[in-house]
Structure 1
């Protein structure tokens, strides 16, 4: 298929693994229900446990790339998957007090896996040709998440919520076995550490690439805005008389459009400058929330979700690939970690900040979200004039092959 031309076999196999792992990654959806239900925690206690787990996930994303750069991305992924899987398998048997330590450990390890997986995709493809590879892995993960929650609901109804954690942990351990089989153990950029004590450090390399710093800051801002759809949006819709069914259909619309359009969009726009696409995507996110300012009609809500989704398609894959193309080889994991952490920061920031604004001044939330996303998009578009590494553009019909990326070149995602 033309859309996958140039995507190496290793990346296709990693994408399949990402799909299978996402299918069983359903515990985060039902964690709060599990804590206040079978575990008997109060809402406040469940909020604390969930919160420390989210902090662990974000910390794993922000710092996990160091392990890959120091010890090899393959080893980081396998270790993280084993730790996360083992912790989830035993979690139902642990006392409540232990959850405060084991859950953030499992989430931290999952964050390391996410950063390592992105770095593995990056080092499998030469710079300038990575957009479609990252689009494929996003497509696979989104497809798995579309299947996972309904499957988890059936498992919980048929057996118990405890089995969700056992299944998630066992599936993560099987993913580690699968990854160990498909990723070469030695002799390639996938497995070799790239630590070089004499090479410039992370912050020196980032200062030499101010456009990357602007992009990372913009992603933190827009993720805070984007993830309001999972926290304050359903409350807003309910307050305007809509049932949970409308919210469910909006999320289904989001997932369906991404699955249908992300790969074709990555292929069609592969020659377009990445920061221009990212900036346009952030402006579409702004437009989506601006559509809610007049009210919460069904047509406005649908238009909002379409704009948000198209914005996500435009900005997420090119942003990942741009950060990877800008990274020096010895810091690929840490550059991917910074982007991975920025791209999920909204999971921790969006619910409390959005809820605080909505409680204090409901009419202010959506204009503020739109303004923040506009500022982020404008900053990224302005960053096109800042210094950065140039990335070679892929030649039509001559995609990169697996293993051609070298540690000296900036692998990307």
Structure 2
């Protein structure tokens, strides 16, 4: 994902505009996979869906260097759809493996592993690219296949949908379950808003630092600070707070994310940028694990995959909106973006607290 635009505009000789359309197509595949991929796992079992998606996805990734360029318009979104479906089933299996109330800890462990991968992966990918672009995709695809075959013997086979049918009752559908949960329906828009704010870290923050005369090294250091804090603190914090109300923790996290981005509106220096990063990362540590677990805990067992996809899809929507919305505001009024981010974070926090009142009603 990190190197796709470079690959398309380099070895594949596409224009920047065309490459942008292809990358945009992968975002559509990712979004559709997040929202709909959970249905396949809930209906047919997360184990077979995960194994099928990872097998086809791994083979497709290996084939990228030899695929005709014209196939990318369809092939890339399909691969991203499979990747999102695989991710949703993985999250659902992890959620079903532990009891409600303990899912914050398991999600924190998963996120710590993911962040460790994001620390190791980019420099490793860059080293591979120095040798061969073809090797990048071959190694990536083979790794997907290797993990698929290594974990297959350990995956549970239970299908909650079929278990519910065997119990003699027709399982409640997704839409009916959501209509009955007004608190969750209030929370979902807040997830989109906060992720839109958070993803400014990867879109407008580097522009802001550059335009303020700061070197690229500062931006790289900020991301290292954030990843390091998550690796060190997310699991201990999840363990310490696992018995507290999820609404209060999520609302506090959303508020801290907003405040952290508002701090980028201060005169830019190393100290102010690091302070902003520490505050917003503190918010991320609080809300991401807790919000994911909260949505999964609200799901009936036979709908865990679709609820996992619902949360992932809401967050992915924020990711897709972050670039165009953030850059448009930054281009029109750079100084306005940061207080708007702060206000959005606080409004999202207030929405979470309002949804808590609905849950109690």
> Quick check: TM above 0.5?
yes
1:311 Cα deviation from its structure 2 partner: 0.5
Tell me what 2:244 maps to. Answer: 272
Gaps (5+ residues) in structure 1?
A: 1-27, 390-413
- The partner residue of 1:83 within 34, 44, 56 is 56
1:142 Cα deviation from its structure 2 partner: 1.1
Tell me what 2:332 maps to. Answer: 360
Tell me what 2:198 maps to. Answer: 226
Flag the 1:247–1:194 CA change in 2: closer, same or farther, 3 A: farther
Contact persistence 1:208–1:388 (CA under 8 A): no
Contact persistence 1:70–1:194 (CA under 8 A): no
1: distance between equivalents of 2:162 and 2:343?
Answer: 42
Equivalent position SS for 1:127: coil
Find out whether 1:198 has 2:170 as its counterpart. yes
Contact persistence 2:40–2:49 (CA under 8 A): yes
Flag the 1:142–1:388 CA change in 2: closer, same or farther, 3 A: farther
After TM superposition, the score normalised by the length of structure 2 is 0.96
Higher RCO (C-alpha under 8 Å, 6+ residues apart) = 1
- The partner residue of 1:49 within 4, 22, 28 is 22
Contact persistence 1:72–1:194 (CA under 8 A): no
1:53 Cα deviation from its structure 2 partner: 0.6
Flag the 1:388–1:205 CA change in 2: closer, same or farther, 3 A: farther
Tell me what 1:112 maps to. Answer: 85
1:358 Cα deviation from its structure 2 partner: 0.9
Tell me what 1:13 maps to. Answer: none
Find out whether 1:297 has 2:254 as its counterpart. no
2: distance between equivalents of 1:195 and 1:242?
Answer: 58
1:59 Cα deviation from its structure 2 partner: 1.2
Q: CA RMSD in A?
A: 1.6
Contact persistence 2:44–2:159 (CA under 8 A): no
Tell me what 1:142 maps to. Answer: 115
Give the structure with the larger helix fraction.
2
- The partner residue of 1:163 within 110, 125, 135 is 135
Flag the 1:245–1:291 CA change in 2: closer, same or farther, 3 A: same
Find out whether 1:122 has 2:95 as its counterpart. yes
Flag the 1:364–1:193 CA change in 2: closer, same or farther, 3 A: farther
More moved, 120-129 vs 308-317: 120-129
1:195 Cα deviation from its structure 2 partner: 6.9
1:343 Cα deviation from its structure 2 partner: 2.0
Deviations 1:15-71 (Å, cap 9, x if unpaired)? xxxxxxxxxxxxx11111111111111111111111101111121111111011100
